[in-house]
Amino acid sequence: MKQDINKYKLPTHVKMLHRQNDYHVYATPEEFLKELPDVSTITYLKDNWKTSIYEDPKNLLEQLLLTTQINDTLKLEHIPISEHEHTSFEQLLNDYPTTTVFKTRFNMKDYEAVKDYHLTLRQLAPFTTVMLNHYYIDTSGYDSSTKHYEVSEVISAFDNELTLVMHPGIAASNLAISNVEAFIMKREVERLDDFDLDIKVINSNQAEVTFKCLDVEGRPYLNCMIMDPKGNTLLTQELDYDKPIQLRITHPIVMTPETEHFYVCIIESETEYIKQEFVIKL
């Protein structure tokens, strides 16, 4: 059965998300609501940015941050920034003569503590530092067009504050902030957050794909479908997130050591799709 692979390119889940590349970066908020049934509310954060300019960043760190950790995983002392020479937020503050801080305050529509909340930011300037309610979230690298973060643990119903710290200068920062698109989605909690695919070649036209669930929210029903690059379905299988599942596929073309074959694994639940590409070679 032939499928349209492109239908699976809308966003799926967040956490800076371990599988950020699975998101369709051009999806509009309206498409989120249309394509993902578990997105019930979207709160827009674009307007009402307040600007502060710091020529001397010496005390900026203490002013911006009340804590240096989020979820006990990200520490301010070391923030990897792509392959840029800077490796910390402090170094960015020291190396740029002018730092511009933009803040916007907002309340969450229809807030429910039991739901998940995902922040999406688009068109960030390179090396923009993101903070939410004084928690450090991330610093963007060169490729900063679209970022997704799970922020459930730091969001609240009222009086939230999103902070963007930009370093390229006042005029450039004012232009950059005018292009930023920011919104937060409220989502249901039954969702596959992270998983692993292990590929083992059996012979020249067979391979074994092992699915292992690493992180799951709730108890969603999961179904796996593996397709070749033309969209032909090779197999479908219900998945078990309590134990690894081995899936054996047969390639339509016999492989040689010089060839690579690209396949697509689609993991589907009642509310979302996750698309994972993989390569099989001898």
Could you report the per-residue pLDDT of 109-145, keeping only the tens digit for each? 889 887 888 888 888 887 788 888 888 787 777 666 6
Give residues with Cβ within 8 angstroms of 186, minimum separation 6: 39, 40, 41, 42, 43, 108, 109, 110, 111, 112, 115, 116, 117
Contact 273, 261 (CB under 8 A): no
pLDDT < 70 positions in the chain? 1-38, 46-47, 54-97, 142-145, 167-173, 189, 251-257, 271, 282
**Structural class in CATH, domain 15-187:** mainly beta
CATH number of 191-278: 2.60.40.10
The answer, as to whether pTM is greater than 0.85, is no
Residue 40 structure tokens: 């019930």
According to the model, what pLDDT value does residue 232 have? Answer: 84
Residue-wise burial string across 142-177, b where 16 or more C-beta atoms lie within 10 A, e elsewhere? eebebbbbbbbebbeeeebebbbbbbbbeeebeebb
Span between the terminal Cα atoms of the chain, in Å: 26
Q: What pLDDT, on the 0 to 100 scale, is given for residue 62?
A: 56
pLDDT (tens digit, 9 = 90+) per residue, 138-186? 777 766 667 878 888 888 999 999 988 886 655 566 777 788 889 898 8
Residue 182's DSSP bridge partners are: 121
Instruction: Write the DSSP string, 109-154.
Output: TT--TTSEEEEEEESPPTT-EEEETTEEEEE--S--SEEEEE-TTT
Least Cα distance to 233 among 249, 244, 245, 222 occurs for 249
Domain ranges of the chain: 15-187, 191-278
What is the structure's pLDDT at 143?
Answer: 64
The identity of residue 90, as a single letter, is E
